[in-house]
Structure 1
Amino acid sequence: MDDKVDLINRDPNNINQHVQSNFEDVLAEPDGTRSADCVWIYSAKCFNGGKSCCYIFLSALCGIFLGLFWGCGFAMISFEQIWCATPMYRCFSIYAIYVQKCVGTYLSCYLGPLCETCGLCLSRIRVDKSG
């Protein structure tokens, strides 16, 4: 297991591509509606600075604990799948083959001939529609 963390590309699998939170992704002025250039420039600086400070603060405050929480959560899911669900499913599959053979034998030996006989008896019935 490689413990190296990529500090440049922090979303190599693009799992958070939907979280676009740059100034240009959130605020935009259409043609014909413009604020003063200085307002737009300082709004962008305040937006980016506030977002960065708040994100850094929340990450420092909660990031390590949430990383531990999610790591343990996914470890429990992996444990349950590897040690419980997959073996139980395999066991079920083995027994299901036995049940399938038993039910198939019952159907072909008992129910099949019964249905065939009923079909032969009822095949001679004619329905005439007379006006």
Structure 2
Amino acid sequence: MADSLDMDNRDPNNLNDHVKVCFEDVLAEPEGAHSINCVWSLSYSCFTGWRNCCYAMYSVLYGCPLAMCWGCEFAEITFQHVWQITPCLRIWMINLGCAQKFFGTCVNCCLAPICEAGGMFFNNVRVKNT
């Protein structure tokens, strides 16, 4: 956990690199199909202005409620792992550990000698290509 909030780098783990959208990532005129310079410049201003304005508005309206919902969701997941999933997995590991020893002993006592004898039998087989 971070002790303080970094107000400059708000995505230190680069979780949202895929949504870094600039004007050039969305709109581009190929060579030979250029609009008038003032249209291109105005389009840039409109795109970036509306993108920033709408993002700020959505952040103000939905940011805190969604942060609260996601905080509750991750708290629930953490609670389930701490109090339900990890203890259940521990029970399974304890019980299956006994089963593993039982079946391992059976395989070592019954199946291993047969395989060992078969290996010794076929050990002297030689295949020659003529």
Same fold (TM over 0.5): yes
Shift of 1:108: 3.9
The whole-number CA distance in structure 2 between the counterparts of 1:59 and 1:111 is 66
Report what 1:14 is aligned to: 14
Report what 1:5 is aligned to: 5
The alignment status of 1:70 with 2:56, answered yes or no, reads no
Identity of matched residues, %: 48
The whole-number CA distance in structure 1 between the counterparts of 2:42 and 2:19 is 23
Q: Give the 3 Å change call, closer, same or farther, for CA 111–3 of structure 1 in structure 2.
A: closer
> Is the partner of 1:47 in helix, strand or coil?
helix
Shift of 1:82: 2.0
For 1:74, the aligned partner's letter is: F
Q: Deviations over 1:3-43 (max 9, x none)?
A: 53221111111110011221111111111110000000000
Report what 1:42 is aligned to: 42
* Cα RMSD (Å): 2.2
Q: Give the 3 Å change call, closer, same or farther, for CA 3–64 of structure 1 in structure 2.
A: farther
Q: Deviations over 1:74-128 (max 9, x none)?
A: 1111111122212221221111110011122333445667x57xx7xxxxxxxxx
**Gap runs ≥5 in structure 1:** 120-131
**Gap runs ≥5 in structure 2:** 119-130
> Is the partner of 2:7 in helix, strand or coil?
coil
For 1:37, the aligned partner's letter is: N
Shift of 1:64: 0.3
The whole-number CA distance in structure 1 between the counterparts of 2:97 and 2:108 is 16
Q: How many residues align?
A: 118
Q: Mapping of 1:1-131 within 5 angstroms?
A: 2=2, 4-110=4-110
Shift of 1:59: 0.9
